[in-house]
Structure 1
Amino acid sequence: MVADKLIAPGARILALLSPRGMPRETYGHARELVLVDREPVAADADVVSFVFAHPRGAVLRTWWPGAHLDVVLPSGRMRQYSLCGDPDDPFHYRIAVRRIPGGSGSIELHEELRPGMRVGFRGPRNAFPLSLTGHLGTSPRLRFVAGGIGITPILGMVRAADRAGADWSLIYTGRHRDSLPFLDELAGYGDRVTVRTDDIDGLPTGEDLVPQPDSELAVYVCGPPALLDVVAARVAHVPGLEFHHERFAPPPIVDGQPFTVQWGGGGPVLEVPADRSVLSVVAETDPAVSYSCRQGFCATCKVRVLAGTVEHRDTVLDAAQRAQGDMLICVSRGLPGQRLVLDAGPARRADTVG
């Protein structure tokens, strides 16, 4: 199957020397990918893998487990998807997407994208990197925890850890087995992988997910917020333990204050409650608004502030960008009782997908 060829690490070096693998292409100057394969990877068919290649067959930019792509769909929507193929395959990127009712990005991918079609992309980028050397310079035991579609960034980590001969284990959870993607691939790792489902085993406890939390352990977890919360509580008071996580949903707003935004000069004035983001409120009025991570690190939702003061909560804008009036509306906020006037013009949207 083209989706997950196990290519030896030396293949990337050979590819760089091939006529198809010129350095200019290797570093991602081409901004399009072509879909070469798609197939269901869960029994319920609600998760589909999509395998992309360079339109001219060139070598793609190297990535490390935990990385993601910003995918620009034919509609112009941009969404982030974790890479879940083989990092040593220099010619293909693979993502897997669960069909979400009402989810515009997933619906478009499942229903409209077919082999031969092209998408735009940015990246790969990595906000959830795997380290095989711990903070003390030693090789820690690795505990991977994945919930449902949260297996996508973890899958590459498992592969890398196994190839490196690391001491690792994975617990993979979900509502029922039919909903879990990549079970066939994971079966090859034997008893290093434990699969448990809510319908048979009940909701997992912290002890189920991380049986032996100690200073020699590094925990990597990806999944729904409730799963992250259980793992975080389990490891919170263990000195020296490394805890790395990625969430597929925005974190809850626990310390917000209400304010208002005006979406465009002369546009609608919208109330932003204390427990909601600007993005979530604006999207109800303008469904075409650009966004992706919803966590303040991809900058897809960046807008220009025309008036008002911003409480910045992102992790990506520098001082100069903030000074010129840039704002990420997925996490940053206005001051209590204040009105922010935001640029909602088409030029802003075009800039986010370049």
Structure 2
Amino acid sequence: MAFRRIFRCVGEVRLAGFWKGKRAFVTGATGLLGGWLVKALLEQEAEVTVLLRDPAPKSIFAREGMLERVDVVAGELESFATMQRAIAEYAPHTVFHLAAQPLVGVAKRDPMGTLRANVEGTWNLLEACRISAPADAPPNILVASSDKAYGSSENLPYLETHPLQGRYPYDVSKSCADLITQMYAATYGLRAVVARCGNLFGGGDLHWSRTFPGVIKATLENEPFLIRSDGHYVRDFLYVKDAAESYLLLGEKLTENPALAGEAFNFSLGEHLTVLEIVETTLGIMGRTDLKPVIQNIASAEIREQHLDASKARKLLGWEPKYAMPEAIRETVEWYREYFQSTAG
């Protein structure tokens, strides 16, 4: 733990100096990762522009007053004209493309909407960067992919060399966006890289169908958490603060070494846990082991087991996660306690 504290301090000093005064364009700022990333960029004195489709007043981005501290491009990813104007007008040093339709269940119900947002939205942004960015100052582009892009595999953990073979709607959308990013890097020389994270969790996720916010909300309301699967689906998790710092580090390293363009990097805590283990651990931290979850076993069109190998990021980027799982869960629980207290009544 002492090593991690020292690394965190050194990393923050280094990154703070790097991002000061640089223009970052962030899509998906009102999402879980987007809110924490924008917060980190502002703390490090970056100049930030965000793409904003909806105001999302309950998001971290809105609740913590970031809207007044950034430039806003109003519109959506599906509008190529909006993307082109944003890149031409703001000429960002780095583009963080995080916006997506992020829910597996929604993707199953609305595959066309998910594909438009996640696939067409990605090529719109990349094409705008190709034709509208200043020729003498091409942007760095970091595209958020996911472990879902790999699809189902018997060979785990996933390495970056694994084929991208999503089969279900959300997974396919991430596979496609990932491949399109690599295409633009290989064919047109865009300075683009892909980040593939495990399941992100942390304060600010208001999608109650997800495991962490769902179990914490249910427990605070003295209700048992409903597990849609049989509880034994295996997932890889990463605390959102670690994810935000991963993106900042990757952006810095891409500036230092443009030869990283076209590469993909896994980011993972390296602990593959079942949903039931996560729920039981969270209940233990909250002191409510008496509140047993209900196993519904109704999940479908989802990958049963996923976990990542992040050794490439450790070796080439010098990356390490800074939060152990228990610490991250405690912080997450406290965030939700404060959130519900502030919104009560």
Report the TM-score, using the length of structure 2 for normalisation.
Answer: 0.34
Query: Which structure: greater strand fraction?
Result: 1
Higher relative contact order (CA 8 A, sep 6+): 2
> In terms of Rg, which structure is larger?
1
Query: Which structure: greater helix fraction?
Result: 2
